[in-house]
Structure formats: structure tokens, C-alpha cells
Amino acid sequence: MAIVTALSRNEGYGLTVLEAMSSAKAVVASRAGAWPDILTPEEDGLLVDIADAASTQVALERLVTDEDLRARLAANGRRTVLDRYSVETEAAALLNHYRHLAQA
């Protein structure tokens, strides 16, 4: 598998996109939940409007036919996860959030 799609209409903070990125897979995701905050379009993934079959088709065709784009998005996605979403980074952010709440 080289491409992962996450095309939810409604999403909280689903891990599908982060898991795909951490596995160095090119991602096409809908603009649902946290995915627009996680993905930088054209840098580490592709975003499409919710329930927009035409833009989803275009995005998938681009990734299927453009090996360089697919590889670049996959590599950048993995780097994004390692830089911003490691267990250590997430744990530190959560701990800082709790510290902030305790001081309020």
C-alpha cells in the first residue's frame, strides 16, 4: 500500500492520518476534524472537501500517476509525525496542559 485515504464526513482526532504518515504513506484526507490541522496540503498530504468525489478522484489520480509527488508527501509526512507527534512530544504537551490547568 502506498496511498491511504481518510475521507470521513465527521472526525474528532482520528489517528488514521497520523498512523499512515508515520508509516511513510501518502495521504488523502477530507477536511474533517483535526486533519486540516495535521496535514499541510501539498507538503505532507492532500486535503479534499468533505464528500467531494471529483476532488478526491483528482487527488488520487495525481498520487497514482506522479511517483515523485507520492514519495515526497510520504517522506514529509513521516518527518512531520516524528517531529511533531512522537510519544514524547505528545506526552510533554499533555503534561504542560495539565500544569497550566492546575495553575488556573
Distance of CA 67 to the CA centre of its chain: 19
Dump the DSSP string for the chain: --EEEE--SS-SS-SHHHHHHHTT-EEEEES-TTHHHH--BTTTBEEE-TT-HHHHHHHHHHHHH-HHHHHHHHHHHHHHHHHHS-HHHHHHHHHHHHHHHHH-
Give the global pTM: 0.87
Higher local confidence (pLDDT), 66 or 89: 66
How confident is the model over 8-37, as pLDDT tens digits? 999 988 899 999 999 999 999 999 999 999
Higher local confidence (pLDDT), 89 or 51: 51
Domains of the chain listed by start with CATH number = 3-103 (3.40.50.2000)
pLDDT at 104 over 90: no
pLDDT at 90 over 90: no
